[in-house]
Amino acid sequence: MSTDIFEQVRDALFESLYMVSAAWAIASLIGVPLGVFLATSRKGELLAARRLNACLNLIVNATGSTPFIILVVALIPVTRFIVGTSIGATAAIVPLSIAGAPYIARVVEGAIREVDHGLIEASLAMGGTPLQIVRKVLLPEALPGIALGLTLVAVALIAYSAMVGAVGGGGLGDLGIRYGYQRFRVDVMAIVIMILIALVQIVQMAGAAIARMVNKRVRPASGRSGRA
């Protein structure tokens, strides 16, 4: 394999990392607060706003259920308006971010809803405000689940970043299509696939480690009990 191909693989890897990391960060900034609100804004909940909750649920469901490749094409005018072009790694961040945000919102919503409701009632009884309860009770308790969920979203964005190469998004997907598929370069396709698999494994291991670090729940002792 020529040195030129190795250089293109390196550049494509950097483009993919740039796309995924930027889109993941933007989607998290949108999705985490959205998920918190969705989890706490139904009737009778901490931040009750039933109509707004229903409206946001509809938007999240519609965005999340749209196939990604269709979403990319539909967002071309929006992408051009924001970044001035619909081609390249920077342009791909727009659809990746919009695709990732609803998944993050659902992940956060689900993690928060798993928190023991008794903790919320106890916090209210002690005079905690809704925002204090969200910040000091719900989010810390839900943090391990949120960390694992954000890891899954990062893995999904890696897959999406490969798909966006089909419409000129750059990165490993674009390299695999142009060289591996269109030029029948099996070696290039194999390298792209192995790199994508390695990225997924690294992200999953890092996410699992972070989830263990932030899990502050008390675990029962597993050692043998001592004799009197």
How do residues 207-219 score in pLDDT, each as one tens digit?
Answer: 888 888 887 654 4
Instruction: Give the contacts of 19 (CB within 8 A, at least 6 positions apart).
Output: 89, 92, 93, 96, 157, 161, 164, 169, 170, 171
- For residues 197-223, give the mean pLDDT: 76
85-133 pLDDT, tens digit each: 888 888 899 999 999 999 999 999 999 988 888 888 888 788 878 888 8
- Residue 217: Cβ-neighbour burial (10 angstroms; 0-12, 13-18, 19+): exposed
Domain residue spans in the chain?
3-214
Q: Can you give the pLDDT at residue 57?
A: 92
Torsion angle, alpha carbons of 29, 87, 64, 26, to 10: 0
| Per-residue pLDDT band at 227 (split at 50, 70, 90) | very low
* From the candidate CATH numbers 1.10.1130.10, 1.10.10.10, 1.10.3720.10, 1.10.10.410, the one assigned to the domain spanning 3-214: 1.10.3720.10
